[in-house]
């Protein structure tokens, strides 16, 4: 007879079930109903039993959107997040050939090209290297297209900037793995290629490999989710997410960029002078107020204005907030710790007086770079530019309290 059964019998006899550890649900006295949503006072009935994995509260339903896309983005609900860490199941998605499902026992990484030894590493091999954990954002360089080229008043923070996520990545510095194969001096770039249906490939300057590039296998304490590259992806802190090749299966050391599709036909930035900017890897400083924001309606009185700021060039040093469309700016409070190439939470308390207001945030990074206004961005990049949309985002608060995205503001 197990301890649990003994406890359960005693519980049935004495009614002391709630004081005993390890009571199983089915052994509770008849008539005891676990509390559910909109149930009776939860302090008067037993709660639900333990589960293998936690579900969200039935009152919380954050979701990426759209779902069911094989080649395209699913935006993360950034307006529903607190702090800076993105929950694993809500990290944004962007795939070019669907989510590859890879057996970790079959996984291997090939490194070849201009190396002393062409080598193959299994997942277990890569986990034998010294590991590091670092908090970084990862952002699609197409993030913000809905706030610029395809702007609508009803757009939410999710639809405007939901292609950025932040958390703690664990993996091995690429530099350590490259020392194992021995990189020839003639290698100036490396090609990173995925094992998905798109076999997505990008050329990266070798300097990034020696700097802070990581081969990551975990995010926020657990293995990567398949949608984010399980079992292994490249992480290039501060670089556009397309370069952080998921399902990484091959690294080839080369002496010139390949000029692959995703570094020429796509992920280049056409400019007003009749050129297209190429290898625009770094994500410049950016911020967005996530609360209050569309589609909410606010009441007069005090509100916390809160949002996220980040830069691919290091740390955020300042975020200014305006409630009058940029005439006056106030220094927002930045949540510590402020980490390099990571989301930074900013806050400012604001008393709304019931008149029209325009809420804006402006990030400044440690290089002195200031997030540009919409007008400055449009003049510099042109209405047709296609990536790296980092202009100031605006929320219009109408006198009735309804909030809309500030199109072209």
Least Å distance between CB 123 and another protein?
11
C-alpha–C-alpha distance, residues 408 and 373, integer Å: 10
Least Å distance between CB 141 and another protein?
11
How many residues are present in the chain?
Answer: 409
Least Å distance between CB 211 and another protein?
15
Q: Within 13 A of 68's CA, how many CA atoms are on the CB side?
A: 0
Q: Between 149 and 300, name the residue whose CB sits nearer to another protein.
A: 149
Least Å distance between CB 193 and another protein?
7
Q: Between 161 and 386, name the residue whose CB sits nearer to another protein.
A: 386
C-alpha–C-alpha distance, residues 157 and 147, integer Å: 9
Least Å distance between CB 248 and another protein?
12
Least Å distance between CB 117 and another protein?
6
C-alpha–C-alpha distance, residues 406 and 310, integer Å: 21
Q: Between 187 and 276, name the residue whose CB sits nearer to another protein.
A: 276
Q: Between 88 and 269, name the residue whose CB sits nearer to another protein.
A: 269
Q: Between 136 and 388, name the residue whose CB sits nearer to another protein.
A: 388
In this structure, are residues 158 and 213 in contact, taking their beta carbons and an 8 Å threshold?
Answer: no
Least Å distance between CB 284 and another protein?
7
Least Å distance between CB 179 and another protein?
5
Contacts of 63 (CB under 8 A, 6+ apart): 77, 90
Q: Between 319 and 403, name the residue whose CB sits nearer to another protein.
A: 319
Least Å distance between CB 257 and another protein?
8
C-alpha–C-alpha distance, residues 405 and 409, integer Å: 9
Least Å distance between CB 405 and another protein?
18
End-to-end CA distance of the chain: 72
Give the residue from 81, 69, 125, 96 showing the smallest Cα distance to 220.
81
Phi, psi of 253 (to 5 degrees): -80, 125
Q: Between 198 and 321, name the residue whose CB sits nearer to another protein.
A: 198
Least Å distance between CB 7 and another protein?
34
Q: Which two tokens stand for residue 72?
A: 């395209």
3-state secondary structure of 300: coil
Q: Is the peptide bond before 66 cis (omega within 30 degrees of 0)?
A: yes
Give the residue from 248, 243, 259, 290 showing the smallest Cα distance to 140.
243
C-alpha angle 344/349/352, rounded to 5°?
Answer: 130
Phi, psi of 36 (to 5 degrees): -125, -175
Q: Which two tokens stand for residue 99?
A: 């989510």
Q: Between 266 and 347, name the residue whose CB sits nearer to another protein.
A: 266
CA distances from 39 to 26, 58, 67, 201, 236 (A): 20, 12, 31, 52, 48
Q: Between 134 and 250, name the residue whose CB sits nearer to another protein.
A: 250
Q: Between 24 and 379, name the residue whose CB sits nearer to another protein.
A: 379
Residue whose pair of structure tokens reads 């050939």 in the numeric block: 97
CA distances from 200 to 89, 230, 254, 350 (A): 23, 15, 17, 45
Q: Between 258 and 358, name the residue whose CB sits nearer to another protein.
A: 258
Instruction: Determine how many CB atoms are found less than 10 A away from the CB of residue 85.
Output: 16
């Amino acid at each position: 007879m197990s301890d649990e059964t003994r406890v359960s019998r005693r519980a049935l006899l004495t009614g002391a079930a709630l004081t005993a550890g390890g009571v199983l649900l089915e052994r509770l006295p008849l008539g005891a109903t676990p509390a559910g949503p909109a149930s009776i006072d939860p302090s008067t009935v037993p709660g639900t039993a333990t589960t293998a994995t936690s579900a969200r509260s039935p009152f919380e339903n954050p979701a990426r959107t759209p779902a069911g896309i094989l080649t395209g983005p699913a935006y993360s609900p950034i307006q529903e997040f607190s702090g800076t860490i993105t929950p694993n199941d809500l990290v944004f998605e962007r795939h070019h050939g669907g989510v590859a499902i890879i057996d970790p026992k079959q996984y291997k990484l090939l490194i070849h090209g201009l190396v002393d030894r062409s080598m193959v590493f299994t997942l277990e091999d890569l986990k034998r290297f010294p590991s590091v954990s670092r908090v970084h954002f990862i952002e699609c360089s197409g993030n913000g297209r809905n706030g610029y080229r395809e702007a609508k008043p009803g757009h939410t923070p999710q639809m405007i900037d939901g292609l950025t996520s932040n958390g703690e990545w664990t993996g091995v510095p690429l530099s350590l793995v490259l020392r194992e194969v021995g990189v020839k001096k003639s290698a100036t770039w490396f090609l990173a290629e995925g094992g998905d249906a798109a076999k997505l490939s990008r050329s990266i300057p070798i300097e990034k490999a020696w700097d802070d590039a990581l081969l990551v296998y975990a995010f926020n304490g657990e293995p990567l989710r398949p949608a984010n590259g399980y079992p292994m992806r490249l992480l290039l802190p501060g670089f556009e997410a397309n370069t952080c090749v998921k399902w990484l299966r091959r690294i080839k050391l080369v002496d010139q960029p390949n000029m692959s599709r995703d570094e020429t036909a796509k992920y280049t930035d056409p400019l007003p002078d009749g050129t297209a900017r190429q290898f625009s890897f770094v994500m410049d400083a950016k911020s967005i107020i996530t609360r209050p924001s569309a589609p909410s309606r606010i009441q007069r009185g005090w509100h916390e204005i809160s949002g996220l700021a980040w830069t691919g060039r290091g740390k955020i040093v300042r975020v200014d907030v305006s409630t009058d469309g940029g005439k006056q700016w106030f220094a927002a409070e930045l949540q510590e710790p402020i980490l390099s190439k990571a989301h930074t939470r900013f806050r400012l308390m604001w008393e709304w007086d019931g008149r029209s207001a325009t809420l804006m945030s402006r990030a400044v990074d440690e290089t002195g770079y200031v997030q540009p206004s919409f007008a400055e961005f449009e003049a510099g990049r042109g209405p047709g530019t296609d990536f790296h949309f980092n202009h100031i985002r605006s929320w219009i608060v109408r006198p009735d309290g309804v909030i809309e995205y500030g199109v072209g503001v």
